[in-house]
Amino acid sequence: MDDQRTEIPEDDDEVRTIDAKPPSHRYARGWYCLGVAAGFKDGGPHTLNAFGTKLVVFQGESGKLNVLNAYCPHMGGDLSEGEVKGESIACPFHDWRWGGDGKCTLIPYARYVPPRARTRSWPTMERNQQLFVWNDPENGEPDPDIIPDLADKFAGGWSVLSWKSEVMETNVRELIDNMSDLAHFFYVHGEGKRRGPSYFKNIFDGQIGYQYMEFHENKTPLRHDPGAPFTGTVDDILPGNFRSEGVYYGPAYMLNPHWRNAPEGPMESILFNAHYPITPDSFMLHVGVIVKDDPRLSREQNAQRAADISEYQQSAFYQDVHIWKTKTRIDNPLLCHADGPIYQLRRWHDQFYCDAADIDPLMTKRFEWTADLSFANEVWDRQIVENLERAARRGL
């Protein structure tokens, strides 16, 4: 564009090259959502690949969900091909029984169990109708309070949980970068035809990473202090405006409430962005949505409305997938002043990949950054007009 403001020294002919080291083979410390808990409660064993190995998930008679290494340390049988017997999973090879704590509970053909008959067990937790597993290379004690409990949202007045899962063949850092990549919300999710963020803010503090966004379709501010946690209702948002608060609790679980005062009526929803690593170069992505009921609508109408909103929000989230499939890994992104704090975000996320004793205080120290979008919004508004006119000429 002819108004682009660029200052480059005349004698600067250095070409920028991309640096990219292989991703770490260490898996981050924290809670990981494996999926909707009800999906593991059919009485049989379930298998999944995570953290570079194979796991088995099973529910004992008590109702507790357990996660163990999938291969039996006796002779290598696949426990996920076995049978749940009481509180144990029985290996299909020799019927060795393994409890949820990883201890061998019975060898039917032996008088006693060897004292060292143990396999790895993974701490689990059910929350928000989802199953979580704790990973820590140092075997530290998990803190269940890190993951918020939304029991009130599942008690009534909200839709059933919509859930989609898909394997992503890339390193999870590509997803994490979205927390600070403000411009892509216009070019990818807005497709150059809808307004980009009118307000954008990041806060990284301890184990919590925040992303605040406001979209002012009416070019008017919301009725509250910009960037402050929103404690009102959707009725406090001016017609046509939208607010999104994405909050990572640890390395791999984000809750993303949305509030929008749309022409068809107010909308409040929560998007769940959860993921767990399969290998250093692949991860399982979960995207869930619940929608607050509209009291003016019937049960059937609310169910259809929630299905439509969930499909829209999940589809929008998956718009990044094609970019991930075609881009390259880059450790030294070349940023401009209008980009978000990508390096600070990565520094915050690195705390989960090192020993607890080696965490640099800068990784957890509170960091705040607010975007200056005055120039960008003027450009984006002009690009919207140009893109729509171009589409009209093409008959799109």
**Distance between CA atoms of residues 186 and 340, nearest Å:** 14
Mean pLDDT by 10 residues, the chain (396 residues): 52 83 96 98 97 98 97 98 98 98 98 96 98 97 96 96 97 97 91 82 97 74 46 50 92 94 82 98 97 94 95 92 93 95 98 97 97 90 86 76
**Distance between CA atoms of residues 386 and 185, nearest Å:** 18
Q: Which element (helix H / strand E) includes 152?
A: helix 151-154
Confidence (pLDDT) at 2: 47
> Which amino acid is residue 360, in one-letter code?
D
Alpha-helix residue ranges (DSSP H) falling in 21-89: none
Q: Which phi and psi (to 5°) does residue 261 adopt?
A: -100, 85
Instruction: Evaluate whether 97 touches 104 at the Cβ level (below 8 Å).
Output: yes
Domain boundary assignment for the chain: 38-128, 151-393
**Distance between CA atoms of residues 248 and 199, nearest Å:** 19
> Which amino acid is residue 123, in one-letter code?
P
Residue 61 in tokens: 């008679």
Residue 351 in tokens: 């705390």
Confidence (pLDDT) at 227: 46
What count of other Cβ atoms lies within 10 Å of the Cβ of residue 256? Answer: 20
Q: Is 46 helix (H, G, I), strand (E, B) or coil?
A: strand
Task: Answer yes or no: same fold for 38-128 and 151-393.
Answer: no
Q: The whole model's pTM is what?
A: 0.90
Q: 53: which strand partners?
A: 50
Q: Is 221 helix (H, G, I), strand (E, B) or coil?
A: coil
Contacts of 5 (CB under 8 A, 6+ apart): none
Confidence (pLDDT) at 1: 44
Fold exhibited by the domain 38-128: Rieske Iron-sulfur Protein (2.102.10)
Instruction: Evaluate whether 297 touches 304 at the Cβ level (below 8 Å).
Output: no
Give the CATH architecture of domain 151-393: Alpha-Beta Complex (3.90)
**Distance between CA atoms of residues 320 and 187, nearest Å:** 11
